[in-house]
Amino acid sequence: MPIETPDPDASPHRYITTAIPYVNAAPHVGFALEMVQADALARFYRQSGDEVRFQAGTDENSIKNVQAANLAGIPVAELVQRNALRFLALKDSLDLSFDDFVRTSADARHKAGTEHLWKACCDNGDIYKSAYRGLYCTGCEQFYGVDDLHDGRCPEHGTIPETVEEENWFFRLSRYRDRLRSLYARGEIEIVPESRRNEVLAWIEQGLTDFSISRSAARAGGWGISVPGDPEQVIYVWFDALGSYVTGLGYGSDEALLSRYWTGSASREHVIGKGITRFHAVYWPAMLLSAGLPVPTRILVHGYVTLEGRKIGKSAGNAIDPVPLAAELGTDALRYYLLRHIRSTGDGDFSHERFRQAYESELAGQLGNLAHRVLSMIERYCGGILPAPPDGFAATDRLLKAGQGLNATVTGHLQAFAFDHALDALWLFIAEANRYVSEEEPWVLARKATSGQDSGQNSGDATANLAKLHRCLFSLAGALQTIAECIVPLLPAASRRLSKKLGKDGGYSAPASPDALIGTRVAAGAPLFPMR
């Protein structure tokens, strides 16, 4: 589902991808974390004025998918299509903004590009055929050495690998040890967090072993992309899947987008889970070097969502469907929980109780309550039209001054892939705005202004209180505007709703002066986050 080609003169260009998940089962909340993180980055970059292409997709040419179809008693094509559509449907459920979605078994661009990548590596002398015997984890679609196992079990899935012996095609990964070490030493590939970079460097220092990049067609059930010139073999799922990052840009077919988003000065960013760091930080750059293509500029690695301390996963039998969660309390509620209550680069536990508590206490009780109180008071005391404050007020008011620094703080955290810290800063500001309401007591100012006018006495005091009321409400409306601007990448639907309440139907694409609110008609309407 490609989109229109963006303006080639726009700059800078950023290309963001998620990993592409297996479709042997429906999506779970652990993958929703990755999608929401990548989407927040894409929206943040767009808000900053960058030209962004955001790609997602599904990994469909794997033995896991074949096995799942066999268990279900249905054709593989039927199973992968059914589940791929469920992953694609996350776009609406999670309010995602990806521009393209690559299905590796159904996208003509991908087949052509994968074959082209194979031939490019082959022409460089990096592909050869050899017999192999090893321990294979189907869950990881990976061979393991004995030393890699934990008590004889896969470190990722806890299963005992099967012994597989067959003749496959291999990639000369060992040839790229020095070049990879140099790339990381020079900082040409950035890995966030730093601990993952150190992990990658340790793997490289230990030495790199050539790895199998094909499987027998018989063992794969005839499913997958055939090796060029060898129909008895299909291309290994990871060689196939990693290539989707460039095949979705037209590599090997129509390379106009490739020249814009993968070559030159484009920023090439992958958002992945920690369990597949080796594939993206070692195998993938080596494949690109072999094919004569630029390497990624940034690899952003998140942790796992756990349930009572256990990793959530399809194979673990504890998967939580994100679609009902988003339907229960709203898309922004789920995005908020994943982005704030799961550390951006660490593991975090999911709890239905904490999910609802975060909604009721933080979204409804703090942000929602602030917005409703402020806008209702503007309606009640100012006829819904925000009056102008005295000249120079915005530069001296403590709440507006705090808001001026908030945008830069949030921007810095988002640039650093720290969504949780960005939301922490936002909620500190929301708490400050709620304190401002309590301390300034605009309802008291309104009562004093009105009682003074009604009695005809102390008219000077009544006028002063009215001015204080207008200044107070202007400051609070400015705080709401700042919040609406800052949550654009994180809670996009809430930002749109809040912006509309502030009289800005088009939302905020860039920071605006509080003066832009003067004379606008606001509307409290329904609560931003109604109690459910």
DSSP states along 250-312: TTTS--HHHHHHTSTT-EEEEEEEGGGHHIIIIIHHHHHHHHT-PPPSEEEEE--EEETTEEP
CATH number at residue 273: 3.40.50.620
Query: What are the DSSP calls for 66-86, one per residue?
Result: HHHHHHHTS-HHHHHHHHHHH
On whether both 265 and 410 belong to a single domain, the answer is no
pLDDT at 453: 54
Residue 527 lies in a domain: no
pLDDT at 313: 64
User: Which residue, among 216, 215, 219, 221, has the nearest Cα to 79 in the 3D structure?
Assistant: 221
On whether both 470 and 323 belong to a single domain, the answer is no
Residue 1 lies in a domain: no
Indicate the pLDDT class of residue 36, thresholds 50, 70 and 90.
very high
Least confident window among 41-45, 152-156, 468-472: 152-156
pLDDT at 160: 78
Specify whether the CB–CB gap between 271 and 41 falls below 8 A: yes
pLDDT at 137: 67
What's the gap between Cα 329 and its chain centre? Answer: 20
Q: Per-residue pLDDT averaged across 357-372, rounded?
A: 98
On whether both 281 and 410 belong to a single domain, the answer is no
On whether both 390 and 284 belong to a single domain, the answer is no
For residue 296, the 8-state DSSP code is P
Residue 350 lies in a domain: no
DSSP reduced 3-state for 527 = coil
DSSP reduced 3-state for 476 = helix
For residue 501, the 8-state DSSP code is H
Asked whether residue 458 carries a pLDDT value surpassing 70, the answer given is: no
On whether both 309 and 426 belong to a single domain, the answer is no
Query: Could you give the angle at the alpha carbon of 231 between the alpha carbons of 282 and 237, nearest 5°?
Result: 30
Residue 384 lies in a domain: yes
Least confident window among 1-15, 33-47, 71-85, 157-171: 1-15
Specify whether the CB–CB gap between 239 and 118 falls below 8 A: yes
On whether both 328 and 383 belong to a single domain, the answer is no
Residue that is last in its domain, among 307, 340, 373: 340
Residue that is last in its domain, among 296, 325, 340: 340
pLDDT at 139: 58
pLDDT at 82: 97
Residue 478 lies in a domain: yes
Preceding amide of 193 cis, omega within 30: yes
**Phi-psi map region of 424: left, alpha, beta (phi>0 left; psi -120 to 50 alpha):** alpha
Least confident window among 9-18, 117-126, 192-201, 451-460: 451-460
Domain ranges, residue 382: 364-517
Instruction: Quick: pLDDT tens for 250-282.
Output: 999 999 999 999 988 899 999 999 999 999 999
Q: Per-residue pLDDT averaged across 397-426, rounded?
A: 96
CATH number at residue 469: 1.10.730.10
On whether both 57 and 193 belong to a single domain, the answer is yes
On whether both 408 and 470 belong to a single domain, the answer is yes
Asked whether residue 2 carries a pLDDT value surpassing 50, the answer given is: no
For residue 113, the surrounding DSSP H or E stretch is helix 108-123
**Phi-psi map region of 296: left, alpha, beta (phi>0 left; psi -120 to 50 alpha):** beta
Residue that is last in its domain, among 285, 305, 340: 340
On whether both 222 and 112 belong to a single domain, the answer is yes
Asked whether residue 190 carries a pLDDT value surpassing 90, the answer given is: yes
* Average pLDDT of every residue of the chain: 91
Asked whether residue 457 carries a pLDDT value surpassing 60, the answer given is: no
Asked whether residue 316 carries a pLDDT value surpassing 80, the answer given is: no
Sequence-ordered alpha helix ranges (H) in 441-491: 442-455, 459-486
Asked whether residue 477 carries a pLDDT value surpassing 80, the answer given is: yes
For residue 348, the surrounding DSSP H or E stretch is strand 348-349
User: Which residue, among 210, 253, 319, has the nearest Cα to 107 in the 3D structure?
Assistant: 253
Taking the CB of residue 83, how many other CB atoms lie within 10 A of it? 22
pLDDT at 8: 42
Q: Look at the block and give the residue holding tokens 């309390």.
A: 329
pLDDT at 141: 63
On whether both 335 and 449 belong to a single domain, the answer is no
DSSP reduced 3-state for 410 = helix
On whether both 330 and 373 belong to a single domain, the answer is no
Instruction: Quick: pLDDT tens for 84-103.
Output: 999 999 999 999 999 999 99
Q: Per-residue pLDDT averaged across 137-151, rounded?
A: 66
On whether both 169 and 292 belong to a single domain, the answer is yes
Q: Per-residue pLDDT averaged across 338-353, rounded?
A: 95
162-171 and 127-137: which strand pairing? Answer: antiparallel
Q: Per-residue pLDDT averaged across 234-249, rounded?
A: 96
- Specify the number of domains making up the chain: 2
Indicate the pLDDT class of residue 410, thresholds 50, 70 and 90.
very high
**Which tokens sit at 147?**
């030393």
